Chains A and B, each alone.
Chain A
């Protein structure tokens, strides 16, 4: 709606500007044209004055100066001198049909109008009146008379007209603009809807029918595509969930019987060792299947995160202790946990966060089999809005170019190099857990410089 008002305002302003501009242009053009029209060559007044001034002589014999004659010839005009008795005393190219004597009434008429359809102009001469006649139908003569107050109000009327015009332009542009806005508002809403991937339907009518149809079509396409994408994600997720489900039952039997054989006292030691190997590999398969399921849940955002205020240092100590209790770490690895602030709280899923920490520890140990020092740190970032859990080792490190690759899922098209150790789900899982917590995983490393993995999470306001 905001957009519509904006458009209307712009429309009205530009309409008014255009009409004012047109108005001014019209006045200027009209004025110039009128002024020029009145000044085509010499005006009749100039001609008649020239004739009068160029006519010399007295009682009966007159001569026209050459310049005046030229002027008359140029305008194809005739001329005569009416003396004080009303008789034509002198003539120049005088048409024969004209009377040679004029009464006072004739002169009065003649001074204002025509003589036998010849437009005439008069000028005073010492011996009477000089009359110059133009050819018939060549000049239009008008006499105007206006009341004085009308003339004096002309400037006011002109100003009023300008304002009237502006007001009219404003009104018209508002009406037209409102009509326009009314027809494009649904379109605007539709386009905004498209931008937010909401379904948009615009009634196709009026001027912008085809536009409305396009919007509807685009919206339908977008919805369809989203639905397809969602369906595909769901299909993939269900497929992986289904596989991991279907593997569980046969795996139960592999694990069950293998472990029964392993514990059987009637079997020779060698067979029992082989059964133990089958059992251990089965357990590996089990953890792989459940990791796959977890990563797929995180990837397709199907993981229900059970949110809870978690004191990060407490959680980290628990995760590290569990890790040490369940893995025979040995003397090769030295672990150190440094907590900068005991009070850091995050909103998160305890099990997922513990899993992320365990994965990072496992990752450092898996890739540095000959041993390394691992430093775990919990600290606030300088802006206090986020906190970081970092796991730093001083092991072999990873070439910088391969770092981004580590966060992609194994065998995905984005992953350039194959998985080297383990099943390759560990770090992608950490990255996805961090993402599910509105955080991120940052890896920094280089060959021989160890690996530093940071989980950045938003801290809770009250911590």
Chain B
């Protein structure tokens, strides 16, 4: 059957199994929105109208983080596309599979400075995994097929498809390719046998090993394999900010998060280990601190599907290129073989005892000060009340670090945040995406007053669709992390980080028709949280917290992990 490009786009989405898209209409995508209103229901596709294009991208990213599936966003040309750029860059840094459809002016106007024209493939070239400009309608379906393939295979990432308006108007016979072969893109899935063998030998001979889990392990769905490896070899296991949930936080072998705001015991373990086994992590500067001091006496095993990540920051002794899940399976098999050949598995009991001692010396802590609400306590209570089972989407800043430190994630895909790009404004719209993807689960968006004010327009979105996101606003009237750095590293000069001039958030939420609660004293925290979390539908819970609380420990930028500041 002949159909116009706009319909072909929707039929293609159906073929890809897309159920939800986040978007915002405009001139260049009117044909698509016209087909949406006519056919979306039959195609099983629900479109969520956001209130700013950035939220469409963050929503799609949250959807992807919460499910592992490819998120889809649809925005118009020019400003629609440029507003989406932050969201695209975020997905690129955090390796989230997204397919972003942007409108474009008709092909005959491209390059003419037409109304709402922007060179979107040019602008996004450096923050997409790949992008396409569709110039012939017969290329439309195959391009979409390839876009979904590229976004989700190998190291995932965002792919942009730019659609000139005439491409969505022209009619052609629709047929969706069943398979796709991209000659120039074939990620290596299986680890080389020799490399796996060598790495396993190093694991079995290490005396003070640490297993270091990154977002790549989550992307590969390697949760079971990570756990099996850790348990089989008695490996103390730490997760990066992006890897939280990749290993159960409540597991006796868990060390929690490492890096700039990691635990003292975690960073000391990494600092003193003799073998660091990295699974899908990228040795980010927020993890390593001063590179030349990072795990100085250790050898490195690095498993990654992206060879450019290996030895990028730290010279690797045992590189293994491949999919984390597959490589771990290969490793587990190899361990069995080497054990059968007589290799012993160590209990590492002295090493575990040493780490436990470090943990006893400096656990996470906060000081209670009268009535003032301590933000750490709020997170602690959130964990207790939700039994650690909620989907938690944090924004960027102090509250993000407290949540990462104190909300123990036992399962993958319950922790959403903007790790690599650190994009303020991510937490709330990402929670919307997660709540759409997992409608029967409790989704809590922990946000600060700074980041929330960047996206509070999305209150209208959750009202419109009755999306049951519980917004937990940690309000200290500061850009807290900026203030903390100004306090610690700029002699208390609080330059433009005070945002105490702000709306009454409770009345603001109510103006959108969303119930809201507020706690201002310690003894109100538990009750307010419980009441808010039990309120059906969307709700805002504001916590007026201590204004100048700091996140500890902190490794100052560029310092070695062992030089972290504890208090």
The answer to whether A and B assemble together is no
